Amino acid sequence: MATLNTESNHPAPDDFYERLIATHRGLSDAESALVNAKLVLLLANHIGDPGVLVQAMAAARDGTDTERDAGAG
């Protein structure tokens, strides 16, 4: 089974991050949430491998229950 790659895989990480934030420029919070959901669905389809996706979902969910207010404005 393929393993989720958690090593840095971006040729230019800072370029990627800037573009990610720029994708949301001018959007309301609700619009941004929708854009993010679409982004996850697009990327998940591109990856395809169910094993990798399950690992990514678990890693993303990990710690959420104990974090006090992650993401609060």
Q: Does 66 bind other proteins (CB under 8 A)?
A: no
Q: Does 11 bind other proteins (CB under 8 A)?
A: no
In 3-state terms, the chain is what percent helix, strand and coil (to 5)? 60, 0, 40
- The correct pick among 2, 5, 38, 47 for binding other proteins (CB under 8 A) is 5
**Distance of alpha carbon 4 from its chain centroid, rounded?**
13
Residue 18 one-letter amino acid: E
Closest CB 59 distance from other proteins, rounded Å: 7
Tally of CB atoms within 10 A around 35: 13
- The correct pick among 1, 11, 63, 65 for binding other proteins (CB under 8 A) is 63
- The correct pick among 11, 21, 46, 61 for binding other proteins (CB under 8 A) is 21
